[in-house]
Amino acid sequence: MNTLKNGASGNGHRGKALIFERPPERVVSLVPSLTESLFDLGFGSAVVGITDYCVHPAKALQGLTRVGGPKTPRVADILALKPELVAANMEENPLASVEALEAEGVKVWVTFPKTIRQSLDVLWLLVGLFQSRPAAMRLETLEFTVEWAESAIEDREPWRYFCPIWQDESGWMTFNRETYVNDVLRLMGGVNVFAGRDFNHPPEQKDMPGESSENGEKICRYPRVTLEDIRVSAPEVIILPSEPFAFGEADHLRFDELLPETPAVRNRRIHCIDGSLIAWHGTRLARAIRELPVLLG
């Protein structure tokens, strides 16, 4: 008998275990990073449905049924696939969709990893569900890679960074210490200049993506910051990810003009990167550990 723990390794909101007599043969993934992880671990043959934003591994996903975006999954299309398990994420998928699927008797596994350790624990739960020794060996290798990266931090000079994930007329959205992306960049030797920010600026900004109630307290993991906030924080590195907002070279030039006095601009340490390397929890971590030190060096 195999068990998946809802909300395991990340304080998800379902709070119950899912029991399986055998590995599921029909899985719908509503999380792009979990879709990639399922295939990387050798469980891709069980996947029957994915979101419009599931893009890796591209060749393997050809022909699979698309069920809408992570924020707008089509419940009827998911039910038509007769899934034994739907993989979801507390932050990426709407609670209403999860509840609608559960009301129809579908088992929904809701994850919410906010650290590398919690992300690895999610992968171990998958390995346990599918009872795969080859997958366990792959995951053991990833564990050793993370351990190596952790030990290497001591030999690196820490660098203070600012990393926006969205922008609009009111400023930039970034993240604090309560996020997976913060932990990934910590593993690279980065120190988030807004790690301790748990409020929005200006304060009238409400209903930010990523807000949740945990331990009775509302924490904004994704605060908005102003140009003056960034200037005062004096980041040594500015990281511009390609997702969820598609930052690029035009934004690089804009920060050059807006923040000429910051160490990041003076030392030409503004880096445009593939956002999935820092935002996608799961097996993509192996690629992040391999590529980010080069990109951010």
**Domains in the chain, please, with CATH?**
2-146 (3.40.50.1980), 159-295 (3.40.50.1980)
pLDDT of residue 155: 82
Residue 211 confidence (pLDDT): 44
Average pLDDT, integer, range 237-250: 97
Residues 265-283, mean pLDDT to the nearest whole number: 98
- For 20, the enclosing helix (H) or strand (E) is strand 17-20
39: pLDDT strictly greater than 80? yes
270-287 burial, b at 16+ Cβ within 10 Å, e below that, comes to bbbbbbbbbbbbbbbbbe
Work out the average pLDDT over 273-283: 98
Query: Strand 171-173 and strand 224-225: pairing?
Result: antiparallel
Q: What is the pLDDT of residue 53?
A: 97
Helix axes of 32-40 and 116-130: crossing angle, nearest 10 degrees: 50
Residue 14 is predicted with a pLDDT of 61
The Cα 270–Cα 154 span in angstroms is 24
Instruction: Please say if the pLDDT value at position 209 is more than 70.
Output: no
Percentage of the chain beyond pLDDT 90 is 83
The predicted structure's pLDDT at residue 170: 87
**Beta partners for residue 218, in sequence order:** 213
pLDDT at 58 over 60: yes
Phi, psi of 167 (to 5 degrees): -150, 150
pTM of the model: 0.91
pLDDT tens for residues 76-115?
999 999 999 999 999 999 999 999 999 999 999 999 999 9
Q: Residue 8 pLDDT > 70, yes or no?
A: no
Q: Is the peptide bond prior to 202 cis by the omega test (within 30 degrees of 0)?
A: yes
- pLDDT-derived band of residue 13, with 50, 70 and 90 as boundaries? low
Range 252-262 average pLDDT: 97
Model confidence at 213, pLDDT cuts 50, 70, 90, reads very low
Average pLDDT, the chain: 91
Q: How many other C-beta atoms can be found within 10 angstroms of the C-beta atom of residue 128?
A: 16
Among 46-55, 137-146, 197-206, 223-232, the least confident range: 197-206
pLDDT attached to residue 5: 83
> What percent of the chain has a predicted confidence (pLDDT) above 70?
90
Does the CA dihedral 43-121-94-278 come out positive or negative? Answer: negative
